[in-house]
């Protein structure tokens, strides 16, 4: 496996509707924070869902993991560290760390695969993804 990676830092703030009645972030919202990180990563590094779609591919998530360490509460400011880990396989692996200041709030990961226009699984890296990896000096 290739060991190179790219990271993006996204700054967010907990909104009222993301909390339970105790003003603690509902656990399912952490996956939404990961998505914010992925979208920010795509904007920063030039690879987005729309790029895949324009090339005739979709990239559904087939695995998601979230390990909670400490809770976030209403109005907390926090950062999502999103790291793309390169792989030879035809998949997209992201790893996440959410911090409030120096405190690690949670860690996680997602794995996405490539589906073609017929929604069939693609087992080799699509050309546009290989071109992006070359541009990012990941190959």
pLDDT at residue 1 greater than cutoff 50:
no
Confidence of residue 112 (pLDDT cuts 50, 70, 90): very high
Paired residues of 80 in beta bridges: 10, 98
Average pLDDT of the segment spanning 25-33: 97
Give the pLDDT confidence of 55-106 residue by residue, as tens digits. Answer: 999 999 999 999 999 999 999 999 999 999 999 999 999 999 999 999 999 9
Q: How many CB atoms lie within 10 A of CB 67?
A: 11
The per-residue pLDDT for 5 is: 83
Element (H, E) at 36: helix 29-45
Confidence of residue 139 (pLDDT cuts 50, 70, 90): confident
Write out the two tokens for 89: 């396989």
Write out the two tokens for 108: 């996680």
- Quick one: DSSP state of residue 133? H
> How far from 92 is each of 1, 13, 95, 114, 124, CA to CA, in Å?
13, 27, 10, 8, 12
């Amino acid at each position: 496996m290739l060991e190179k990676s790219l990271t993006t830092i996204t700054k967010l703030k907990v909104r009222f509707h993301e909390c339970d009645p105790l003003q603690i972030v509902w656990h399912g919202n952490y996956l939404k924070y990961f998505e914010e990180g992925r979208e920010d990563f795509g904007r920063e590094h030039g690879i987005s869902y729309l790029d895949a779609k324009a090339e005739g591919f979709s990239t559904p998530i087939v695995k998601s993991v979230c390990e909670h360490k400490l809770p976030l509460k209403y109005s907390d400011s926090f950062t999502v560290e999103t790291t793309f880990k390169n792989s030879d396989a035809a998949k997209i692996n992201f790893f996440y760390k959410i911090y409030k200041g120096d405190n690690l709030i949670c860690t996680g990961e997602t794995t996405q695969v490539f589906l073609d226009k017929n929604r069939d699984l693609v087992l080799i890296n699509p050309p546009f993804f290989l071109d992006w990896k070359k541009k990012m000096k990941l190959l």
